Chain A
């Protein structure tokens, strides 16, 4: 309903079921032909809930994944083909769930981290899974037939708790963000040896001055957004292919483009980039903000402007925001208030 008017974010559904805070969300990227969108949510009640849209437009919880993790489920991630769901828990494990015979079945449990696992991410091919933990390490797992997972790399470099890992949408390049305020980029050297190929910090690269909580790439991966406890979002130019070995003098690298500041006054926990290039952020001030690139100001380099701030989007902190891949105008949010909300973005998002 793009009527050229101002952008608006309308709450369409409030999904209740979690008995504790809702930490994280993941839309199934490939729910199957004819199927509607499928959303997974997880939280402090140690469960994962699967939400589906019925033909009449209502939403319901179709499955509750429980009794596998015995502590908080911090995050969840679907494989690119939509058939597997990885869930990361404070119990130091990551569980792999498969949808078969009408049920979700836990087909593998990845152990190795010393303490809380904070996040997991599948590579674009679906053959690699990365996990990260409060133990400061990032692990890369290779998937083999028969639900076998082999750890192929333990990446050390962060000096503190690693909050999130995210694969590049096109390349086998991995990004991790941490309580040590830095963003690290990892790639393999062609011989299956994984290395940190760049570290983005406050001192060296206009990076963050406190915990970096979340990261999201745009669709083709030439830009990414990060958000932090320093109450800013930062946009990065990621168009240089860091998976290729460096050649010659003065190599190029990823660089800071823009800092969005003054929009949230408490920790920004989540940021997500839609396929229509709208960036959503969710924060400890209970608000959701939406940003787009200011196309008319290219003279001074790219800049981003706020198109909408939804105050009191939830009764408590907003922990996660995720755009639906099948419907770029549908946003899901998860909160400390235990609810998951679905929003519809209406109006114009352009200049």
Chain B
């Protein structure tokens, strides 16, 4: 199947140097270790773009700054920036982000995935679809779509 790429020549950005997360000073092994911005970013930075052999970090779709977290309220918000305004892959990328965080974070977390304001022609529609968990659940029961998501997520394991 030949598909027209929605962004044929994406700009590839330089990767940020990977920081090693500092082990907490706390010696109590049973204390809950709060999840921080960098940890969330580490979960999603290596997700592969659906059409290019680059990671979402390579394409500046996600940065560390695109992650907001309130650990106390168990709330995570990821704001991603599609490579072009008419990117037809925006919902697929959002779905990959949601699935990855769903699988990586404890179930108490509420995750919101949004496109950056002004970055997409159908921003409101994409955001509404990504926040509708019923439609997300139905999408993930679609074997073709699930294959695409799994393929994009595969570099993030291991």
Chain A residues packing against B (C-beta within 8 Å):
21, 44, 71-72, 74, 90, 115-116, 118, 134, 161, 163, 179, 210-211, 229, 266-267, 284-285, 315-317, 336-337
Contact = CB atoms under 8 A, between A and B. Distances in A.
B131 interface: yes
Contacts, number: 39
A312 to B, nearest CB: 10
Contacts of B107: 315-316, 336-337
7 contacts: A71-B141, A267-B131, A284-B110, A316-B108, A336-B107, A336-B133, A337-B107
A16 B74 CA distance: 24
Contacts of A74: 134
A229 B131 CA distance: 9
A266 B108 CA distance: 14
Nearest to A74: B134
B128 interface: yes
Contacts of B133: 284, 317, 336
B135 interface: yes
A118 B138 CA distance: 11
Contacts of B135: 134, 161
B137 interface: yes
B132 interface: yes
Contacts of A115: 138
Given A316-B107, A337-B107, A210 B128 contact: yes
Nearest to A337: B107
A72 B128 contact: no
A211 B110 contact: no
A116 B110 CA distance: 25
A315 B109 CA distance: 10
Contact of B141 (A90, A118, A266, A284): A90
Given A315-B107, A315-B108, A337-B107, A179 B132 contact: yes
Interface in B68-111: 107-108, 110
Interface centre among A21, A161, A317, by most chain B C-beta atoms within 10 angstroms, is A161
A134 B138 contact: yes
Contacts of B137: 21, 44, 72, 90
Interface of B: 107-108, 110, 128, 131-135, 137-138, 141
B138 A90 contact: yes
Contacts of B110: 266, 284-285
Nearest to A21: B137
Q: Which of B108, B110, B128, B134 has the most CB of A within 10 A?
A: B134
Main secondary structure on B side of the interface with A: helix
Given A179-B128, A316-B108, 5 more contacts: A21-B137, A71-B141, A211-B132, A229-B128, A284-B133
A350 to B, nearest CB: 34
B128 to A, nearest CB: 7
B141 A72 contact: yes
A212 B110 CA distance: 20
A282 B66 CA distance: 30
B138 A116 contact: yes
B108 to A, nearest CB: 7
Contacts of B138: 71-72, 90, 115-116, 134
Given A74-B134, A266-B110, A315-B108, A211 B128 contact: yes
A163 B138 CA distance: 13
Contacts of A90: 137-138, 141
A22 B132 CA distance: 16
A118 B107 CA distance: 25
A234 to B, nearest CB: 19
A161 B135 CA distance: 9
Contacts of A179: 128, 132
A337 B107 CA distance: 8
Nearest to B129: A179
B11 to A, nearest CB: 34
A9 B92 CA distance: 41
A267 B135 CA distance: 14
A44 B137 CA distance: 8
B126 to A, nearest CB: 14
Contacts of A336: 107, 133
A197 to B, nearest CB: 27
A1 B73 CA distance: 35
A266 B77 CA distance: 14
Contacts of B141: 71-72, 90
Nearest to A338: B107
Contacts of A44: 137
Nearest to A285: B110
